[in-house]
Structure 1
Amino acid sequence: MKKLQLLLALVLPVLGASAQSKMDQDREAIKSLAGFYKVTFNYAETFSPDDDYKFHERHRSSAKEWAVILEDSPKKIVIQHLLVMRGDSMIIKHWREDWTYEDPQILVYDKNDTWKKVTLSANDIKGKWTQKVYQVDDSPRYQAIGTWVHVDGRHQWQSNADSPLPRREYTERSDYNVLNRGNMLYLTPKGWMFEQDNKKILRTESGDKLLAMEKGMEEFIKTDPKSFGYAQTWWKQQQNFWKDARETWDAIFAANNVIKLTSKVDNKLLYEQFFALGDQSVKENWSSAKNKEGIRKIILAYLAKG
């Protein structure tokens, strides 16, 4: 008995240190996604089961992007991306990613701007991180679960999730309504890579039909922070409004098992309403309470009933 106690006394601290080391590696990898970057976007359709399908043109573009950490707690890291255009004279609040550890609830995309809340088992989430990706107006986009792997000097995370059409095709195509995303993130000596193996799917009541497959490569290369001066000033002015937006959305998510959004209200997209309200809030120095009142009113106008 004494030998067993001695063995446990020696082994348990080592196991605890090992688990903590893995957690620390995960957190450091996630935080490495933040920074100042030049980003290149490359997408190409690669395969279709339909011999008559006409492949769409490849998409290539580039931009500068600042990814700033908004929250850093042991089991949650929030990173906001800001798109920097026209040198450093035009800023667009871009996508946001919330990383949560062993999170039991996610929003799963169905189709036609509808997400459904799903509760996962302890086995499903053990040791895993959820990446919750949000649109420019902080409405949901997709949420995916995966395990960070650190081996042979490689740090990567892989997942699969359904999402709406990407913005590069959202207003141009109606031949499919779900993008099934095969996502892989991995760190590189110059920054990080977001590699995708996507399936473009037409989802109907009778099931899913594969339209085409697509390869995506988004490369984030670290660049000089000096060219992001206005972006940092802009975000300092806007950040309180968007904090209120996140908190208002969180309350909406908590109160609804299904989120279904209407595409336009008064012929305006949701993000147009949010951007205008954010600018007005900064200009008139609104309080948090007034921000949340205006934000909630906008969200409810776009939240479809039933």
Structure 2
Amino acid sequence: MTTRRNCLAIALAFSLTAPAWAVAGEKAPDNDRASILAMAGDYRVRFDMRETASFVPSYQPLDEKVSGGYEAVRVVEDRGDFISLQHILVVEDDGKPVVVKHWRQDWTYQPANVLTYEAANKWVLTPVSAEARKGAWSQTVWQTDDSPRYGGVGKWVYEGGVASWQSDRTLRPLARRDAVRKPVYSWYAGWNRHALTPTGWIHEQDNAKLGLKDGKPVTYVHEVVLNTYSKSDKFQVKAADDYWNATKAYWAEVRTAWDRTIEKDRGITVTEEAQNGSVTGPKLMGLAEQIAEGKTDSAAAIAEAKVLIAGPAKARPLASLK
């Protein structure tokens, strides 16, 4: 039987303006915008993670891990040079839909800055050079509670009949699938790739899993990830839209609170937590659930969320991983 706890486990693998720190310049190309917007829709999703080659003699690569579910991907905002897509996971529990707000991806054309993972508990605004930003898009990925995860910069290319985008090399915190096991490695370094397919789109990752050994960064193993989004109407899409319509005003204020802190401090420190990604996750997600169930109103939940978001800035970051 699928429970809400299990759904959160799967998940953890309406802003009016883009954040000021991500302000772009020129008009974005229509074909790039169309490629990003094409990722919105209703999908059957398959998550496939495989560790491949070990680089430490004592480390044995894990067996392949495959899971899945259904997702509704909605356009939260489209300002031309800034597009925000919210993923909403839907699974069934005894024939009833269980909805979990999943990850979010923000796209900015020719960004001045990108929010990057620098160390455990720490994300910083990293300037993007004029050369690197020309014709490029940043993709910033956020946790289920809209706290940060990782960001990268790359260009959409159209070759061999395929529209695809690939990031530069980025650092990332461990995903829940790894963090809960307390592995020998502590972070990822890798490339993030999106490509459109005839039936939807794919999200690929080429990851190196790193940790400290004798005080120095060491690659323990490589991993390939293939997340496949195939168009589908075989799930209760209305449940996802009902949840989002009930909670989007709350989540808009949550995003704004995170963005203001990031802009003010040129980054943010948030305590990471294996089960939920960030320590803020259970509370912020719980407040949204109370709104969706009619147990509280948005104004009260927003006030509580703002206080909570102000707290993680006191988290103690560790030394830079770069």
With structure 2 as the length reference, what TM-score do the two structures score?
Answer: 0.82
Q: 1:26 maps to which residue? A: 32
Bigger drift between 165-174 and 189-198 goes to 165-174
Q: 2:91 maps to which residue? A: 85
Partners of 1:178 and 1:203 within 8 A in 2: no
Deviations 1:140-169 (A, max 9, x none): 000010000012321000113111001211
Q: Distance in 1 between matches of 2:183 and 2:49?
A: 18
2:284 maps to a residue whose letter is F
Partners of 2:142 and 2:148 within 8 A in 1: yes
SS at match of 2:57: coil
Q: Distance in 2 between matches of 1:65 and 1:116?
A: 30
Q: Distance in 2 between matches of 1:149 and 1:41?
A: 24
SS at match of 2:242: helix
Partners of 2:261 and 2:267 within 8 A in 1: no
Among residues 114, 122, 133, which one is paired with 1:125 in the alignment? 133
Write the mapping of 1:25-174 to structure 2, written as runs, cut at 5 A: 25-86=31-92, 89-159=97-167, 160-174=169-183
Deviations 1:261-288 (A, max 9, x none): 1246xx9932110022223345356355
Query: Which structure has more RCO (C-alpha within 8 Å, separation ≥ 6)?
Result: 2
Partners of 2:271 and 2:315 within 8 A in 1: no
Write the mapping of 1:214-233 to structure 2, written as runs, cut at 5 A: 214-224=223-233, 227-233=236-242
Deviations 1:72-127 (A, max 9, x none): 11100000000101155100000000001111111221221211221122112111
With structure 1 as the length reference, what TM-score do the two structures score?
Answer: 0.86
> What is the deviation of 1:57?
2.2
1:197 aligns with 2:203: no
Whichever of the two has the greater Rg, that structure is 1
Partners of 1:138 and 1:246 within 8 A in 2: yes
Partners of 1:147 and 1:158 within 8 A in 2: yes
Among residues 243, 246, 250, which one is paired with 2:259 in the alignment? 250
Partners of 2:90 and 2:236 within 8 A in 1: no
1:275 aligns with 2:275: no
User: What is the percent sequence identity of the aligned residues?
Assistant: 31
The CA RMSD measured in Å over matched residues stands at 2.3
CA 1:213–1:305: 2 relative to 1, 3 Å: closer
Q: Distance in 2 between matches of 1:60 and 1:291?
A: 35
| Bigger helix share | 1
CA 1:166–1:226: 2 relative to 1, 3 Å: closer
Work out the number of aligned pairs and report it: 284
Q: 2:13 maps to which residue? A: none
SS at match of 1:89: strand
CA 1:50–1:226: 2 relative to 1, 3 Å: closer
SS at match of 1:136: coil
1:302 maps to a residue whose letter is P
CA 1:120–1:204: 2 relative to 1, 3 Å: farther
> What is the deviation of 1:240?
1.0
> What is the deviation of 1:248?
1.1
Q: Distance in 2 between matches of 1:126 and 1:100?
A: 12
Q: 2:17 maps to which residue? A: none
> What is the deviation of 1:293?
2.5
